[in-house]
Structure 1
Amino acid sequence: MSTRNLTRQSLMLRNLAETMVQALAPLKAASGRLKYLSPFPRRFNGAYESYEKAMEAAGRTALAGYDNDEVTDVSFDQMCKIAPWDYPVLFWLNKLEAELDGLVDAGGHMGTKYRAFRNHLSPKPSFRWIVYDVAAVVRAGRARAQREDCPGLEFVDDISLADDVQLFLGSGLLQYLDKPLSQLISSMRTRPRHLLLNKVALRKGPEVVTLERIGPALVPYRMRNEAAFMRNVCQLGYKLVDRWSIPSLSHVVETHPELGASESAGFYFRLDS
């Protein structure tokens, strides 16, 4: 092959590569940080100092928050399947279920973990699985449960109604919760002896609230300061028993990559009494 043909092919390949880079995900510097110009919607967008400011920003461009009927069915079938990060929770539920008459599944959606776990547990016949969530999700969850065979599954949008349960399950709760965990648990009539918290988004620096796109809505997503989170739980009298990391659920805010990646972790705490 001649030198001229090699040069022509090299130019064609270089032009093709430049075209692909420009078409797929060009980056440009703007306002002192890199902003992605991908044609696909970003999963995480923005960085705010509080949940309230994130909600305000979300409401300017989309449905704001999880408490919307249009959001309740998003990813429901997928969430009813067991994921790799569920197994530590299943391990502790199996170890503890003999002493449990019920649990509150805070942020439990329409009973997704109930459906995912029920064939892997052997609870007492009178066991109560009480889902606490926002009003729109509770309405949808009750309607769906009436159409299916879901023994023991209950729904409340006021956590004080989830009384006399020995275990608090929060799987994917903390990143969407609009208050400190201690405040939510203090709203219960009695503190559960056991806390199982999974998929907790943490970082070493100050807390950051971003917006996650979930279907047609933008939902505040909290990446909590790890030390502050641990203090908040322990001040209620809970002692850490187990901790596990979930590297596959680490996230970077696309619009603010300089903040670094969050860490996802799970915890088992027991009331130190």
Structure 2
Amino acid sequence: MSEEIVAAGLTFALRRRLAHIARIGIGRYRALRPDRHRFLGAYRSHEEALQHVRSGRGKGYDNDGVSEVSKALMQEVPLWDYPVLFWLQRLSPEIHRIVDAGGHIGVKYRAFSRYLDLDRIDWVVYDVPAQVRAGRAAVRPQDRTLSFADRLEDVPPADLLLGSGLLPYLDQPLTELVGRLRQRPRHILLNKVATRDGPTVVTLENFRLAEVPYHIRNVREVPDALDALGYDIVDSWIIDPLGHRIDTHPQLGRVVSRGYAARSRDTMASSASR
């Protein structure tokens, strides 16, 4: 190996090391002004993150008032919702009930009602009690097929599980969530899944009045969970505009937002045998 190649390799390694040190310094500086930043800290678990919520802030999503954060925006259809809308339109003839896990106050029901015939689909939002209370209080006369539940075990069997923005806030593995359903749905749609190349990290999302644990999962966690549950991924996508870094820990790398459409292998086998 020539001296030039060795020198180039050492220079590259040195630059990477200096960039890593610089990112650590930037993160520590940002940590001094936490109110200016969206993501704070890096922890090994949901529980550890909750222990670092600042004094005077609500802990987690189950807080009255959190439902008002970005409520109007979430009832629109941004670019990254179109893969989900595409699959809902495609599957709608065979869907009679949707479980919208982490569905807030029914924001996707309202957003998608302009494009889907929801009068024939029973749409059940499952969320924490504070969001369910806010959702029930906000029900409109035209929300004829929208209902709420704060216990997943109480939801009747559904054809499709929707998790739009659920996974970053879910404090349990996807396999456990699906296992709590009375019956596994034929289809699962997941959107805005925060992923990274390394081990799963939990940060805190700054909602001003509350700080909420935000899970950035290893990139293989969700695909492996779907496979273990008996689902095949039939579509996946990356949402570039939602990519980011943890403000106080930029050295941990870029967070990539992903989406998945999955179908039960039992359903696929049944269709093939007809």
| TM-score bracket for the superposition, by shorter chain length | 0.7 to 0.9
The answer to whether the aligner puts 1:272 opposite 2:265 as a matched pair is yes
What is the rounded CA distance, in whole Å, between the counterparts of 1:61 and 1:238 in structure 2? 43
Segments of structure 2 that go 5 or more residues without pairing to the other structure are 1-21, 267-274
Aligned ranges for residues 1-273 of structure 1 at < 5 Å?
34-36=28-30, 41-58=36-53, 60-123=55-118, 125-145=119-139, 147-273=140-266
TM-superposed deviation, 1:149: 2.4
What is the rounded CA distance, in whole Å, between the counterparts of 1:119 and 1:92 in structure 2? 15
Does the CA contact (< 8 Å) of 2:77 and 2:111 recur in 1? yes
What is the rounded CA distance, in whole Å, between the counterparts of 1:135 and 1:223 in structure 2? 24
Number of residues paired by the alignment? Answer: 244
TM-score (norm 1): 0.85
What is the rounded CA distance, in whole Å, between the counterparts of 2:23 and 2:175 in structure 1? 41
Does the CA contact (< 8 Å) of 1:160 and 1:187 recur in 2? yes
Does the CA contact (< 8 Å) of 2:194 and 2:217 recur in 1? yes
Residues 190-229 of structure 1 show CA distances to partners (whole Å, capped at 9, x for unaligned) of 0001000000000110001000012411000000001122
Residues 13-62 of structure 1 show CA distances to partners (whole Å, capped at 9, x for unaligned) of xxxxxxxxxxxxxxx99889642256852100000000110011116451
What is the rounded CA distance, in whole Å, between the counterparts of 2:254 and 2:263 in structure 1? 29
3-state SS in 1 of match to 2:85: helix
What is the rounded CA distance, in whole Å, between the counterparts of 2:148 and 2:95 in structure 1? 18
What is the rounded CA distance, in whole Å, between the counterparts of 2:187 and 2:23 in structure 1? 48
Give the partner amino acid of 2:242. Answer: L
What is the rounded CA distance, in whole Å, between the counterparts of 2:185 and 2:56 in structure 1? 39
What is the rounded CA distance, in whole Å, between the counterparts of 1:29 and 1:238 in structure 2? 39
C-alpha RMSD of matched pairs (Å): 1.9
3-state SS in 2 of match to 1:119: coil
What is the rounded CA distance, in whole Å, between the counterparts of 1:40 and 1:208 in structure 2? 21
TM-superposed deviation, 1:126: 3.9
3-state SS in 1 of match to 2:168: coil
What is the rounded CA distance, in whole Å, between the counterparts of 1:202 and 1:80 in structure 2? 24
Structure 1 pair 206–149 and aligned structure 2 pair: CA distance change class (3 A): same
TM-score (norm 2): 0.84
Residues 70-128 of structure 1 show CA distances to partners (whole Å, capped at 9, x for unaligned) of 212111111101100000001000000000101000000000000000010124x4421
Identity of aligned residues (%): 47
Give the partner amino acid of 1:219. Answer: V
What is the rounded CA distance, in whole Å, between the counterparts of 2:150 and 2:104 in structure 1? 11
What is the rounded CA distance, in whole Å, between the counterparts of 2:174 and 2:121 in structure 1? 25
**Could you say which structure has the higher helix fraction?**
2
Does the CA contact (< 8 Å) of 1:35 and 1:254 recur in 2? no
Greater Rg over alpha carbons, structure: 1
Structure 1 pair 87–38 and aligned structure 2 pair: CA distance change class (3 A): same
What is the rounded CA distance, in whole Å, between the counterparts of 2:210 and 2:122 in structure 1? 31
3-state SS in 2 of match to 1:179: coil
